[in-house]
Amino acid sequence: MKYLLKKNLWTLFYILLGMGLALLLLISYMQYKNVEKDLRAELSYLSRSTSEATNHYFIQQEILLNVLDRHLFEDEEIKDRDHVKRLFANLLQINPALAGISVSDPDGNIILLSKARNLRNPINLKHSKESCHAFEKALVEKAMVVGRAFYDKALNEWILPLHKAARDDSGRVVAVLSVGLHLSSARSIWQAYTDAGTELEIFLDDSWYRIYHSDKPPERYPELYNKPITEQERYIFEGGKALETEAETSFEKLKKTASPAVVLLTIPGEKSYIISWQYIPKYRLWIHYHMPTEKILERVKNYWLINIVSFIFIFIVVYYLFYTINAIEKRKSKELLYQAMHDSLTNLPNRMYLQKKIDSWIYDGAPPFSVGFIDLDNFKNINDSIGHHYGDLILVEVAKRLKASMPKGTMVIRHGGDEFIMLCHEYDIDRLSENARLLIEAISQPYEVEGMEFTVGVSIGISRYPLDGTKLFELLSAADIAMYHAKRSKNSFAFFTSELKAQRNRYSIMEHELRNAIEKEELTIVYQPQIRKDGTLHGVEALVRWENRKLGHIHPEEFIKIAEESGLMPKVGRYIAAHAISEIDSLQRKLGTKFCLAINISIRQLNEKGFVESFLEIIRENSIDPSHIVVEITESLFIEELEFILATLHELKREGLNISLDDFGTGYSSLGMLRKLPIDELKIDKSFIEALPDDNESEAMVKAIITLGKTLGFSILAEGVEDEEQFIRLNELGCDLYQGYFFSKPLSLDRLELFIGSHCSPAGCTRQ
């Protein structure tokens, strides 16, 4: 159980750890998605802001070009060139984003520049491959045209041209006005709309040329601006299929809306990007941002770090909590294990400890050792006379003397009550005998307990491994047999011998034969009548007999003890109860009379799981009234396990059965204990009856039992009534019921039928 608790405790910890990790991952994922959502929103805002700013700026430049058109070509020609140059200079000064201003004729020849420049080899905008497409487009369109970015050698920088045709009143183009915008990052109009890690690109819709790319060094401008974007770059720009699958739109639809589109693009084998588009229809430009998803990680890593630190801290606390609980449980488990394996009174190891440790004594090739079974002589008298308190104190002192008297390495076990077991590495008979004598001498010394002096004797039985057995129960059985032999002499010891071994062999044979006695139908039930004062039949007691083909007739006291010790008693008990109830039920129906049936129930049966239901099932299978069933329990065995079986007795009582306390007077029942018991009847033990009427002490005891029973409302039954004098005296003392050879010996069912026919009328047999 403790192992399961420990295992379950750490299983719970690992479950919590797993759940914590799952929660950490979930929270981290949600934070990642939230940051991604925020970055998408930022990119959308940047796209919208950049689009609006670009559109606004270009409108300003177009207004500027319109103003210049009206100012310069009032008479369809430029008259004061110096004035115009000063005008250009002022415009460049107040507009730092402008790199220069020029005026070209319709053929593309530059006729006027904002800065001094050698016009002997002028650039022809109509023939230059960088500007021809936009220049010709400006000739036919009324709106300002955005041209391709190109490198201006005179200015020694890359510029973005904006063209606007100047027309006369008839609409004929008389000149083309152009302004150039700085593309370098420092002076670009888009510098304020870029962020670290976020790239801004602006494309011409009709040619896929870039007109701006943020955060690129000038040495890369030729490859960026001199040719359209590559297939790979266009794949990134177009966002693969993400624009359709994620944003559920297309470039044609984007051209018709003022809202940006933002998607996540993953390039197989490469990076992932968050991409946005915004179209400026007036100038046919694409505002395109793309941001590597690593930026999400850069921003979310601080949250993750907090998560991880918090997780580690929390689970360090949780681990410490579980570790502490586990340590407490370990300590408790250790304490409970110690308590389970040690006697609480003497602090000696107990039988459970012996079972646990026996493998260190008995194994293949184990050295020989001896087992001592120790029993205190007449210790019960001390408990009975002065109380268990003094007896317990004496047992504590006995335990100390046992440990002090035995050789080093001896295992001393309290077997229970006043019995002890010792396992000693000594094997030699002479040395064992000397040890036994020393132990008897030590135990026999007077005990002074709370001002009172006591003397107890000790009987020791000794068996040896492997001579007397190779299993623990064999060695204990042998030592127990030797101890009972020693007990005849009191305060002595005895070794297990061949003669005693023969007795054990008979025991083993009887046990083996008893296991098959039911199947072989060797067990029979006889019934001894129980008589009322007036001589009428009150009931019968069911008694079992065993006639074995090998062993002959075996006395019940002998084989019942074997059944108890071998665990066969529940099986034998069920057989007795089933047959007795069935036979008596049939007899009662045959004779048309009712009387009680007393059945002896052992402590093992009462402790057996499901006993009550099994016993009641036997009764239900027959027609006998439960009130005519008497359950007999033995006082001497019952008292030791009162608390365990009291509930069982009450359950039987509730079902209408009667309870009888057998052998009363041989145990140590107290008045308080008797009041607890749900009993109906006291049976006076025959040891008190057989001395009547001559023994005054026995008569006084019988009289006291009868008086006590009457006071508590019990019926009194005397068993072992052998002659008329005993019957007369018991009758005078107030006894209610009688059982013994004076009335009848135990009878077979057939003889019982005859007995009832001669001693009982239907009316007289009915329970009163």
Reply yes or no on whether the pLDDT at 74 is more than 70: no
Contacts from 649-653 at CB under 8 Å and sequence distance 24+? 649/606, 649/677, 649/678, 649/679, 650/678, 651/612, 652/612, 652/615, 652/678, 653/678
Q: What is the pLDDT of residue 767?
A: 35
- The contacts of residue 74 (CB under 8 Å, 6+ apart) are none
Nearest CA to 673 out of 631, 628, 641, 720 is that of 641
Each residue's pLDDT tens digit, 271-297 = 788 888 899 999 999 999 988 888 888
Distance CA 736, CA 22 (A): 79
Contact 525, 576 (CB under 8 A): yes
Beta bridge partners, 278, equal 287
Q: Which one is predicted more confidently, 629 or 516?
A: 629
Sheet strands side by side (includes 411-416): 411-416, 419-424, 369-377, 457-465, 493-495
408-436 mean pLDDT: 92
| Measured CA angle at 731 (ends 726, 732), to 5 deg | 100
| Measured CA angle at 475 (ends 412, 516), to 5 deg | 135
Sign, Cα dihedral of 53, 55, 60, 61 = positive
The region of weakest confidence among 48-52, 97-101, 537-541 is 97-101
Burial class of residue 421 (count of CB atoms within 10 Å of its CB; 0-12, 13-18, 19+): buried
Instruction: With cut-offs at 50, 70 and 90, classify the pLDDT of residue 88.
Output: confident
636-665 mean pLDDT: 78
Each residue's pLDDT tens digit, 342-379 = 998 999 999 999 998 999 999 998 999 999 999 998 78
Strand, coil or helix: 709: helix
Contact 147, 161 (CB under 8 A): yes
Distances (CA, A) of 643 to 145, 352, 611, 646: 108, 22, 17, 5
322-326 mean pLDDT: 88
pTM above 0.85, yes or no: no
Q: What is the pLDDT of residue 242?
A: 67
Q: Considering the chain, what percentage of its residues have pLDDT values greater than 70?
A: 91
Tokens matching residue 405: 């008297």
Strand, coil or helix: 528: strand
Each residue's pLDDT tens digit, 193-219 = 877 778 899 999 878 888 888 878 888
Distance CA 335, CA 330 (A): 8
Distance CA 330, CA 5 (A): 10
Name the CATH code of domain 525-759 (choices 3.10.110.10, 3.40.1410.10, 3.20.20.450, 1.20.120.1200): 3.20.20.450
Q: What is the pLDDT of residue 117?
A: 54
Query: Mind giving me the DSSP string for 321-356?
Result: HHHHHHHHHHHHHHHHHHHHTB-TTT--B-HHHHHH
Burial class of residue 439 (count of CB atoms within 10 Å of its CB; 0-12, 13-18, 19+): buried
104-125 mean pLDDT: 76
Q: Which one is predicted more confidently, 8 or 397?
A: 397
Query: Mind giving me the DSSP string for 561-590?
Result: HHHHHHT-HHHHHHHHHHHHHHHHHHHHHH
pLDDT averaged over the chain?
86
CATH 3.40.50.300, domain 73-182, yes or no: no
- Chain centroid to CA 315: how far? 19
**Which of 507-521, 689-703, 719-733 is the most confident on average?**
719-733
CATH architecture assigned to 351-496: 2-Layer Sandwich (3.30)
Reply yes or no on whether the pLDDT at 764 is more than 50: no
The region of weakest confidence among 71-75, 253-257, 491-495, 587-591 is 71-75
Give the DSSP H or E segment for 751.
Answer: helix 749-759
462-468 mean pLDDT: 93
434-438 mean pLDDT: 93
Q: Strands, DSSP E only, in 217-327?
A: 261-266, 272-280, 285-292
Q: What is the pLDDT of residue 214?
A: 85
Q: What is the pLDDT of residue 718?
A: 94
Reply yes or no on whether the pLDDT at 752 is more than 90: yes
Q: What is the pLDDT of residue 766?
A: 38
Q: What is the pLDDT of residue 730?
A: 93
Reply yes or no on whether the pLDDT at 765 is more than 50: no
The region of weakest confidence among 152-161, 641-650, 717-726 is 641-650
Each residue's pLDDT tens digit, 565-623 = 778 888 899 999 999 999 999 999 999 999 999 999 988 788 788 899 999 999 999 99
Spell out the domain ranges in the chain: 2-27+307-337, 73-182, 351-496, 525-759
Instruction: With cut-offs at 50, 70 and 90, classify the pLDDT of residue 79.
Output: low
Distance CA 54, CA 190 (A): 8
Contact 369, 424 (CB under 8 A): yes
551-573 mean pLDDT: 85
Nearest CA to 650 out of 673, 670, 679 is that of 679
Reply yes or no on whether the pLDDT at 223 is more than 90: no
Distance CA 738, CA 296 (A): 101
